Amino acid sequence: MSLAPVVSVIIPTKERESILFDTLARLAGALNGVVAEVIVINDSKTSNLVLLKDFDFAIVVDNPGQGVASARNFGASLAKSDLLWFIDDDMWIEKNLFNRAIELNNQFPDAAFNFNWIYPEYLSKKISLIPFGRFLENINFTTMKGWCKDNYWNDDDLFKTDWLAGATLLISKSSYTKVNGYDSSFPLAGFEDYDFSVRVKNAGIVSYIEPNFMAYHNEVNKTSLRGFLNRVRNNAITRKHGVSIGYKDQELKISAIKRTIYNIIGLLEKPLLFLSDYWPNIKFLDPFYFKICQVLVGYNGFVGYTTGK
């Protein structure tokens, strides 16, 4: 008779096979000797996902085109363990982090956790060599601490938080069910984490961030300005959806003057993107490049929020 898994690892993915395979290769080492199940949720409408023989510890289940929130819920519904660990398909987990996750769950079985992350060393070196990579570093986008810039952070010890992200979410299945999981009406990744965090807090579930045990965020396919702007639009689209379902405090206030400025920027977007594509890789010129990026980020957030596309 097979033993029940200690943890169910749930990985939503969509048409990023090579990135997923890197993640699974590292996860295999982290789970070595542990009774665990790995559920990969394929969110693609157009491509089948077939795992390599080396990844026979994982199963693939299709959830075509339903979005990451729906994928997480579907994975949770299939999980055999009461401990769920959601990780993004580009998040590397190592053995020490897995051990810490089990330890924290034993200590606080009703709590929810996120784990610290940074870019892997090879990726940090890679982006430091290009203007857009240095822009990401400039806005502190390559660490979880940077993403949490508007929230409390403690470098030294486990600390409570009101903010959770699905990228490294550890939570019991009973707690996940208590808040009805993620809101699957969110069509894209972005604001669904905010909504989930609010509902977790309102349910009285304590959330923590563990800063001392590191995951590695292998965002190798997101090192271009155009890809980043697409992410900005998606975040804005999901923010607008969040406002429509009741988060009025997250409404984006756009004055008539700002709207006019954004409309002008819209006329300049293609030339600015062309300029950014051929920007010289000279660090002295980085501040000017960063300004172009900031202008385009603001404009794409405006477009995503106001048009929903």
In the predicted structure, residue 243 carries a pLDDT above the cut 90:
yes
Q: What is the mean pLDDT of residues 236-247?
A: 93
Confidence of residue 100 (pLDDT cuts 50, 70, 90): very high
Does 173 share its domain with 268? Answer: no
Last residue of a domain, one of 194, 217, 240: 217
Buried b (16+ CB within 10 A) or exposed e, 244-258: eeebeeeeeeeeeee
User: Helices 225-244 and 131-138 meet at what angle, rounded to 10?
Assistant: 40
Provide the whole-model pTM: 0.92
In the predicted structure, residue 104 carries a pLDDT above the cut 50:
yes
Structure tokens at 109: 């079985």
Q: What distance in Å separates the CA atoms of residue 137 and residue 209, rounded to the nearest whole number?
A: 22
Q: What distance in Å separates the CA atoms of residue 141 and residue 26, rounded to the nearest whole number?
A: 23
Please report the pLDDT score of residue 1 as a whole number. Answer: 47
Domain with 203, as residue range(s), is 7-217
Tell me the CATH number at 47.
3.90.550.60
Does 73 share its domain with 136? Answer: yes
- pLDDT tens, residue by residue, 107-143: 999 999 999 999 999 999 999 999 999 999 999 999 9
Is 1 part of a structural domain of the chain? no
pLDDT, mean over the chain: 92
